[in-house]
Amino acid sequence: METLLIQLPDTGAQDDKWSCGPNSAARVLRYYGHNVDYGTIRAAADEEYMLPSSVRFPAPTWSDPFRMRRVDIRAGTTPHHLRDVMKQWEGENVKLERQAGFDLLTNLLKEGKPAIVLFRVGSIDASILGTFPELHWVAAVGINEAEQLIYITDTNSSTYQLSYGEFIDQWSWRIGDGLASEALWREGVKTETVLWIDRLV
């Protein structure tokens, strides 16, 4: 089978620390014919709706028993809020699935539907709070079943190929332990999250 690759419009590279979700959403919405760019969708998303960029927790020392430590959790826009932003242009065609499974993703790509996926790109040890995942939205834009490759367009406007295993490692992540896990699950942030527009161009 040959490579099926969707060319998303370049709506601008991400230039901050939180708006990878709006950046990926802008590319997909423009692909479906909407006159939007990165700035438009970032403004619609509004930074106040992102998961808190950092949390504070006790980290006492002998000299300062009331010392607090700040930890950056870098979780960005929540899945349900990103879906709601996209619905302003595409209504009920916008679909969100958590713990979606690899078959759903590959079927979407084979149907010519780009999908926004939530990757884990790192980990942050928050000591007694547990381990926070460092998360990043990208757009899955292609597949080659014969070579078992998935193609993604990142928020720097570049397209990369990943093996099935590499893709799954970043998409099907463990959420972490302790309060970190509780905080993210409460906000609907789960593994194998996928957002897409359920129609053809």
Lowest average pLDDT, out of 94-98, 147-151, 171-175, 182-186, goes to: 182-186
Reported pTM: 0.84
3-class DSSP assignment, residue 43: helix
**What would the pLDDT profile of 23-35 be if each residue is shown by its tens digit?**
999 999 999 999 9
Q: What's the rounded Cα separation, in Å, for the pair 104 and 77?
A: 22
Tell me, what amino acid is at 12? G
Question: What dihedral angle (degrees, nearest 10) is formed by the CA atoms of 184, 11, 46, 51?
Answer: 10
pLDDT in tens, 110-158: 999 999 999 988 876 666 556 677 789 999 999 999 999 999 999 999 9
Neighbours of 92 (CB within 10 A): 7
Q: Could you give the CA distance from residue 63 to residue 8 in angstroms, rounded to a whole number?
A: 55
Looking at 3.65.10.10, 3.20.20.80, 3.90.70.10, 3.40.30.10, the CATH number of the domain 4-8+18-57+65-197 comes to 3.90.70.10
Distance in Å from the first CA to the final CA of the chain = 22
Q: 63-100, pLDDT tens digit by residue?
A: 887 777 665 554 578 899 999 999 999 999 999 999 99
Angstrom distance (rounded) from CA 49 to CA 31: 25
Residue 179 has pLDDT above 90, yes or no: no
Query: Would you kindly state where each structural domain of the chain is located, as residue ranges?
Result: 4-8+18-57+65-197
Q: Which residue has the higher pLDDT, 115 or 57?
A: 115
Dist CA 153 CA 7 (whole Å): 9
Q: Give the sign of the dihedral formed by CA 90, CA 29, CA 107, CA 164.
A: negative
Spatial distance between the Cα atoms of 197 and 201, rounded to a whole number of angstroms:
10
CB 149 within 8 A of CB 143: yes
